[in-house]
Amino acid sequence: MKRRYWTHWLTLGLVLAGPAVRLHGGTAPFIITAPASQTNDTGASVSFAVAAGGDAPLIYAWYAGTNALTDDGNVSGSATPNLTLASLATTDAGTYSVVISNASGTISTGAVLTVYTRLVQNGGFETGDTSSWTPSAEILLGLNAVVFPFAAHSGNYGFAIGVPEVPGYLSQALPTCPGQPYLISVWLNSDGGITNEFIVSWDGTNIYDQVNLPAQGWVNLQITAAASSTNCVLGLGARDDAGFFSIDDVSVAPVPVFLTVTNAAGILTGTFNRLAGFRYQVQSCAELAADNWTNWGNVCFAETNATGSFSVPAAAPQQFFRLELVP
């Protein structure tokens, strides 16, 4: 809520020739533009900006919740109108506020930061290089593998690879939950060069391996695999003797899984797995083929690995439920 501060005038009699002089009491800070709430992924950066008016000098102090912020390796601008947070973690999510003061008063405003977990870092190669990935020796040669604009499915960059004779690999270790299934998504473009081969591996096992893929536009490969440990390695391998594969928008996300569903006294109760940094929405529909799924309850955001639950009236004659990951 915006506070309005009214200017007061004070009349003083002065022993001087001429009329009495009115002295201005000063203008307290007021908000011109409040900071906007932000959403971003782990590892990314985010900025909050506020515009304020009032008598100078204006003093700015940013807070995360009730904790005063100071500039350090991940925080900058804590005493300015523009706060920047780098290398976001899920623990950075919350309310950020700025207190603005001068000699005449104080005002504050704030915004909310939501941080999602993106298991694959730099999956779109938007850093302009292969940072966060571990390239194999064949890729490190740099002759037949490059991050380049023409290879982009979206954004500014994609990864083009044309290593001959043997596949070159990019790999990345991901934090995972044992037993949890994950959806691996890769956008792939093949120019149909012979001989070619494209491989997706998960923790050392090839879960996709195709030879001599035809020329085609962008295709979205989606593969489900379960995690066997707390750190699974995603590998992308490609060989193309006469041309190039283009790879972009690589992602891995947990597949929502119902754990239990019970029906008692006309109330349907279900539990489901929740992984830290992801948001879940329970939905229902009378027909599986229908498009009009109904949201039940609010979006559930997981700060830690835990079990979520929902309870809804059991409708007749039937209804179907699903869990959806919310962007």
Q: Are 78 and 31 part of one and the same domain?
A: yes
Tally of domains within the chain: 3
For the chain, give the mean pLDDT: 84
Pairing of strands 205-211, 196-202: antiparallel
> What pLDDT, on a 0 to 100 scale, did the predictor assign at position 296?
81
All residues at 6 or more sequence positions from 61 whose CB lies less than 8 Å from its CB, including other chains: 68, 78, 79, 98, 99, 100, 101
What pLDDT band is residue 143 in, cutting at 50, 70 and 90?
Answer: low
CATH of the domain at 52: 2.60.40.10
Q: For residue 66, is the peptide bond before it cis, meaning its omega torsion is within 30 degrees of 0?
A: no
Q: Are 89 and 158 part of one and the same domain?
A: no
CATH of the domain at 169: 2.60.120.260
Instruction: Give 282's strand partners.
Output: 296, 323
Burial 56-72 (b: 16+ CB within 10 A, else e): eeeebbbbbeeeebeee
| pLDDT (tens digit per residue) in 107-134 | 999 999 987 777 898 999 988 999 999 9
> What pLDDT, on a 0 to 100 scale, did the predictor assign at position 290?
67
* 1 found inside a domain: no
Question: Taking the CA atoms of the chain, what radius of gyration do you get in angstroms?
Answer: 28
> What pLDDT, on a 0 to 100 scale, did the predictor assign at position 316?
60
More confident residue, 101 or 4: 101
Q: Are 281 and 199 part of one and the same domain?
A: no
What pLDDT band is residue 312 in, cutting at 50, 70 and 90?
Answer: confident
> What pLDDT, on a 0 to 100 scale, did the predictor assign at position 270?
85
> What pLDDT, on a 0 to 100 scale, did the predictor assign at position 307?
85
Task: State the SS3 of 162-217.
Answer: CCCCCCEEEEEEEECCCCCEEEEEEEEEECCCCCEEEEEEECCEEEEEEECCCCEE
| pLDDT (tens digit per residue) in 16-74 | 333 333 334 689 999 999 999 988 877 778 999 999 999 999 999 999 999 999 999 89
Lowest mean pLDDT among 76-90, 171-185, 252-266: 252-266
| pLDDT (tens digit per residue) in 169-210 | 999 999 888 888 999 999 999 998 889 999 999 999 999 999
Q: Are 183 and 291 part of one and the same domain?
A: no
All residues at 6 or more sequence positions from 259 whose CB lies less than 8 Å from its CB, including other chains: 270, 271, 272, 273, 307
- Indicate the pTM of the whole model: 0.65
Domain region containing 82: 9-116
| pLDDT (tens digit per residue) in 280-311 | 888 888 777 767 888 888 888 777 778 888 88
